[in-house]
Amino acid sequence: MNGSPVSYTLREIVDLYGGELVGDPQIRVSRVATLENAGAGAIAFLANPRYLRQLADTKAAAVIVAPDSRAATDTARIVHDNPYLYFARVSALLRPARQARPGIHPSASVASDAAVDPSAEIGAHCSIAGGVRVGAGTIVGPGTHLADDVQIGRECRLHAGVTIYSDCTLGDRVTVHSGAVIGADGFGIAFDEDHWVKVPQIGRVRIGDDVEIGANTTIDRGAIDDTVIEEGVKLDNQIQIAHNVRIGAHTAIAACTGIAGSSQVGRYCRIGGAVGIAGHVSICDRVEISGHTSITKSIDQPGVYSGVYPFEPNRQWRRNAAQVRHLAEFARRIAALEQGLAELTRSRS
C-alpha cells in the first residue's frame, strides 16, 4: 500500500516545511512513530499536553513540538505552531501514497465504450460499465463496480469493493474506502391506500475535489435534483447521507452519523459521531455538533451544539430517568410552590 522507504535529514525537512530546528540538522529520520514506541530513525510529535511525560522518555531520533514545549526535551526537535499538521506532512513525505500501476487487470470487465485513462489502474474483478470515464493516475481497487456513465476524476483512489451507481460524478483526488456505496436510490416512497409506491430516484450524486469517503458509508442519489458533497469534505465510516443533502466545502463528519433527506450542512462544520440530522433542516457554516446529538431543527448561528443524555450507573439512571416523564409536572409544581410561598410571605408582612 505504501512506497519504498526513504529518509530525510531534519535540515531537509525544515527546508521543505519550515519550523525552527533545535539540535543536529544532520539527524536522519526514515519513519514516524508515537513518542511511546519510537526508536532509532523515528520522528515523533507532541500535540496534546497530556502526553508531555512521554516526551521526556521518548527514544525518538527527533520530535515535532509546539513553541511552549520547546524546552521540555533535549531530543532534536522541530518547533512549529501546529505539530500535528507538521507531522501529517512529514508522515506523507516518508510514506508517500502509492502511485497507480497503469493498466487494466485481465480479470476486470470493462465496457468497450468506457474511457479509462492509460495511466489509471483498474484492479481485478472490477466491472466498468458503458460511458464510464476514469481520469489520469486514478487507482480503482479490486472488485469495484462503476455503473453506466460514472465520471471519476484524476488521481482518485477507490479502494477494493466500492460501488458507484450510474451517472454519479467524482472530482479529482477523491478517496473512497471499501464498502462505500455512492448513488443508491434515496428512500422515496408514496403511500397509496394500503401499500407504498416507489418514487423513482433520478438525480445523481456529485462529489467535489479532495473529498474522502469512509468505509461502508452510503450517499444516496437525489430524488430529482442531485445530492452534493462539496470540495474538501471528509466523511468517516458508516455515514449515511440521504437524497438531496448538500454538505458544504471542508466540513468533516465523524463515523455513524446520518443526515436525512434534503438537509443542508454548511461549510467548515465539524460533526461528531453518531449524530442524527433530521430531514429538511439547514445548518449554517462553522457549526460544531457533539457526538450522539440529534439535530431536529435548523441552526443559523455558528457555535457548538450538544444534546446527549448523561450516563450513570444503571440503578441511578433508572431512578432519574423515571422522573423525565414528570418534567412538565415539575414545572407546574415549582411554579405553584413559588406562588404559594409568595402569598405566605406577603400575608406575613
Catalytic residue numbers read: 243
Can residue 346 be called a binding residue for a second copy (CB under 8 A)? no
User: Cα(247)–Cα(269) distance, rounded to whole angstroms?
Assistant: 9
Torsion angle, CA of 106/112/113/119, rounded to 10 degrees? 30
Rule CB under 8 A: choose which of 88, 101, 103, 298 binds a second copy: 88
C-alpha cell at 331: 414545572
Query: Angle formed by the axes of helices 83-94 and 10-17, to 10°?
Result: 120
Among 77, 80, 133, 159, binds a second copy (CB under 8 A): 159
Q: Which residues contact 308 (CB under 8 A, 6 or more apart)?
A: 290, 291, 292, 293
**Minimum distance from CB of 164 to a second copy (Å)?**
9
Build a one-symbol-per-residue string for 55-74: x at contacts with a second copy by CB under 8 A, - elsewhere.
--------------------
Judged by phi (left if over 0) then psi (alpha if -120 to 50, else beta), residue 317 lies in alpha
Hey, which residues between 98 and 127 contact a second copy (CB under 8 A)?
105, 107, 109, 123-125, 127
Q: What part of residues 246-285 is at the interface with a second copy (CB under 8 A)?
A: 250, 252, 254-256, 258, 260, 273-274, 276, 278
Q: Which position among 19, 232, 248, 266 is part of the footprint of a second copy (CB under 8 A)?
A: 232
| Rounded Cα distance, 297 and 52, in Å | 42
The nearest distance, CB 328 to a second copy, in angstroms, is 4
The yes or no reply on residue 298 touching a second copy (CB under 8 A) is no
Instruction: Pick out residues in 303-322 that bind a second copy (CB under 8 A).
Output: 303-314, 316-322
d(C-alpha 291, C-alpha 301), whole Å: 19
Of 26 and 130, which has the nearer Cβ to a second copy?
A: 130
The span from the CA of 22 to the CA of 11, in Å, is 10
Helix, coil or strand: residue 152: strand
Compose the 190-229 pattern: x for residues touching a second copy by CB under 8 A, - for all others.
Answer: xxx-xxxxxxx-x-------x-x-xxx-x-x---xx----
Q: Is 327 in the site for a second copy (CB under 8 A)?
A: yes
Q: How far is the CB of 291 from a second copy (least distance, A)?
A: 6
Tally the residues of the chain.
349
Q: How far is the CB of 279 from a second copy (least distance, A)?
A: 9
Our finding on whether 296 is near a second copy (CB under 8 A) is: yes
Question: CB–CB of 188/168 below 8 Å?
Answer: no
16 in contact with a second copy (CB under 8 A): no
Candidate list 11, 59, 89, 286; residue touching a second copy; CB under 8 A: 89
Size, binding site for a second copy by CB under 8 A: 130
> 20-22 and 76-79: which strand pairing?
antiparallel
SS3 273: coil
Residue from 102, 178, 284, 285 touching a second copy (CB under 8 A): that is 178
